[in-house]
């Protein structure tokens, strides 16, 4: 019972890894199939591969409990990365994920040194003719070339086959068998001229063993069983021949041959570990790249859909301007007529209050629709600026005049600091007026009674003009500033304030300023007030050009003073006319 519950509990943590990369899918699939209690199922529509219950649910049913339906949970990208690292960190020689790559490295090493090994065999055969007969040397050379050709042919067939058609275990046995034959033939070199008593032949035999061990260690270190069967026969043959000579010097050489062989085996194991680590890192890199590409593709698709939906929404709202405003204008007009009793007095005073409420609500709704349409047109790229030469100071004074009564009703003071000497700027007057009105309205809304608001227009250090509005309100927490700069975003103080808002004022202001290539900056700190800066760039400032001919220094006056001009003579003709006559 406990075992079945444990298996069912383990089943709940199975995650569905979503990836289209071939490397990640193959490795994870082999891992699941090797676990024995899950099997792979492919979802053709989503491209997902999942895990379903096999023995766990059967065990739970036999125990008398209803098996739980496995939950399909999306794997967090960090989990897949950690799982890939855990599986790739296992450095086992018989790891199926790397067995093919290790055999492929051995095969490529063999194919890359075809002429080298055969040339070495020719050199050994020629050298052995100094202490052995030519027949023995030639026979050994033919056997070496034949075994090598068989091994190379096997390697070529291995490379030519597609990976999915290769049984690594079978091909590993074939390569081991071919290398065993090759190693036995190379061991036959110790039997060439075995009856010779020349000490130089034995020294050469020892040196040839070292050369062969070094070459085989380099080529076959990625497949240690192949290295063993290819080098041990020759080492045994050389050691036996040296021991049969019965001299301590040759016994020392035999022991050195064994030591060299063991040393080369340790070196080969180190190279094998390095190759496994390299393959593990490469597989991990491929898995991470596949995961990043998948996540990037997913995020790009989500962003594309969100942008398409946003553009569609903005286009819809922008084209609905007439359809939304026409009925509202009728509501506002008729309710104003009823409120003002233009067609006659209303006998019931409640009806008059209702008409006033309808008019106020319609005005508020029209203001909200105008803001939504403005932000929609801006987002859709359909907001056209009607630019002309305006004075930013005049715009600020008009906005102050419109909101002065509202400020006095809240016992607020608006201080003006306007530089009247500033030149004109090239901008949309309606847009700049909306910017100033929105910012002043926010300052009036959130500044408590008795507070102070400063409205300034001045020339900045970059040569442009800046509109600055500063208040003594409660301020905005720094962590809420990014939120209130988003469409329909409101801070914590907006929910506590009695005056409502749509959360579109600041986004509209920022967008309008950016359409003018300006900079919008909001500085605020809790309990220290808020300061908003709207900076227009220098290229929008219309500097007054100096006159080409300063007043009083015109060229015709200077020429007349020096006698350069003549008065017309009698007869009314100019001098040049007289000359022509």
Judged against a pLDDT cut of 60, whether residue 29 lies above it is answered with no
pLDDT digits (tens, 9 = 90+) for 412-455: 999 999 999 999 999 999 899 999 998 998 899 888 888 999 99
Q: How far apart are CA 487 and CA 267, in angstroms?
A: 66
Which ranges in 447-553 belong to alpha helices (H)? 481-484, 492-496, 505-515
pLDDT digits (tens, 9 = 90+) for 148-195: 899 999 999 999 999 888 888 899 999 999 999 988 998 888 888 787
pLDDT digits (tens, 9 = 90+) for 77-133: 455 555 555 554 444 444 446 888 888 888 988 888 888 888 888 898 888 888 888
465-471 and 424-428 as β-strands: parallel, antiparallel, unpaired? unpaired
Q: How far apart are CA 141 and CA 123, in angstroms?
A: 10
pLDDT digits (tens, 9 = 90+) for 336-394: 888 888 888 888 888 888 888 888 888 878 877 777 777 777 776 777 888 999 999 99
pLDDT band at 552 (very low <50, low <70, confident <90, very high): low
Q: How far apart are CA 559 and CA 418, in angstroms?
A: 45
Judged against a pLDDT cut of 80, whether residue 396 lies above it is answered with yes
Can you give the pTM of this predicted structure? 0.44
Instruction: Compute the mean pLDDT over every residue in the chain, rounded to the nearest whole number.
Output: 77
Torsion of CA 402, 408, 411, 416, to 10 degrees: 60
The domain locations on the chain are 2-75, 96-291, 321-380, 389-542
Q: How far apart are CA 445 and CA 441, in angstroms?
A: 6
Residue 438 in contact with residue 506, Cβ under 8 Å? yes
Query: What's the CATH class of domain 389-542?
Result: alpha beta
DSSP state of 68: P
Q: What is the pLDDT of residue 272?
A: 87
pLDDT band at 321 (very low <50, low <70, confident <90, very high): low
């Amino acid at each position: 019972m406990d075992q079945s519950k444990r298996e069912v509990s383990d089943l709940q943590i199975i995650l569905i890894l979503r990836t289209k990369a071939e490397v990640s899918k193959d490795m994870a699939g082999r891992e699941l199939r090797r676990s024995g209690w899950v099997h792979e199922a492919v979802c053709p529509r989503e491209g997902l591969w999942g895990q379903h219950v096999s023995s766990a649910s059967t065990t739970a049913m036999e125990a008398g409990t209803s098996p739980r339906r496995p939950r399909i949970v999306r794997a967090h990208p960090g989990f897949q990365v950690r799982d890939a690292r855990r599986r790739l960190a296992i450095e086992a020689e018989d790891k199926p994920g790397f067995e093919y790559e290790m055999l492929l490295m051995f095969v490529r090493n063999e194919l890359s040194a075809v002429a080298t090994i055969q040339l070495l065999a020719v050199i050994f055969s020629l050298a052995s003719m100094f202490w052995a007969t030519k027949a023995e040397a030639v026979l050994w050379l033919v056997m070496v070339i034949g075994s090598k050709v068989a091994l190379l042919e096997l390697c070529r067939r291995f490379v030519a086959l597609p990976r999915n058609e290769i049984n690594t275990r079978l091909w590993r046995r074939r390569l081991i068998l071919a290398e065993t034959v090759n190693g036995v033939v190379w061991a036959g070199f110790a039997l060439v001229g075995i009856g010779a008593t020349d000490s130089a032949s034995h020294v050469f035999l020892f040196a040839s063993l070292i050369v062969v061990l070094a070459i085989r260690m380099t080529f076959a270190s990625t497949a240690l069983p192949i290295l063993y069967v290819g080098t041990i026969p020759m080492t045994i043959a050389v050691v036996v021949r040296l021991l049969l000579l019965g001299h301590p010097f040759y016994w020392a050489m035999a022991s050195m041959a064994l030591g060299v062989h063991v040393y080369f085996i340790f070196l080969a194991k180190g190279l094998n570990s390095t190759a496994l680590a390299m393959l593990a890192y490469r597989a991990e890199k491929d898995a991470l790249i596949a995961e990043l590409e998948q996540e990037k593709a997913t995020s790009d698709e989500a962003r594309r859909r969100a942008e398409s939906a946003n553009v569609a929404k903005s286009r819809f709202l922008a084209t609905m301007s007439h359809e939304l405003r026409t009925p509202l204008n009728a509501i506002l007009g008729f309710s104003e007529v009823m409120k003002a009793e233009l067609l006659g007095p209303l006998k019931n005073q409640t009806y008059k209050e209702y008409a006033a409420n309808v008019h106020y609500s319609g005005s508020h709704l029209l203001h909200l629709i105008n803001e939504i349409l403005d932000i929609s047109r801006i987002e859709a790229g359909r907001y056209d600026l009607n630019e002309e030469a305006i004075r930013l100071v005049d715009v600020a004074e008009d906005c102050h005049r419109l909101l002065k009564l509202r400020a006095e009703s809240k016992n607020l003071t608006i201080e003006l600091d306007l530089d009247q000497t500033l030149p004109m700027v090239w901008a949309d007057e309606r847009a700049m007026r909306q910017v100033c009105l929105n910012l002043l309205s926010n300052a009036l809304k959130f500044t408590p009674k008795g507070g102070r608001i400063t409205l300034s227009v001045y020339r900045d250090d970059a040569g442009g003009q800046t509109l600055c509005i500063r208040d003594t309100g409660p301020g905005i927490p720094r962590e809420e500033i990014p939120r209130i700069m988003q469409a329909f975003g409101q801070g914590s103080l907006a929910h506590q304030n009695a005056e409502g808002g749509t959360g579109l004022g600041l986004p509209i202001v920022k967008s309008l300023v950016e359409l003018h290539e300006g900079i919008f900056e909001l500085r605020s700190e809790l309990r220290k007030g808020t300061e908003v800066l709207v900076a227009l760039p220098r290229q929008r400032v219309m500097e007054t050009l100096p006159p080409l001919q300063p007043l009083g220094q015109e060229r015709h006056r200077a020429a007349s003073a020096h006698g350069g001009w003549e008065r017309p003579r009698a007869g009314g003709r100019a001098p040049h006319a007289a000359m022509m006559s």
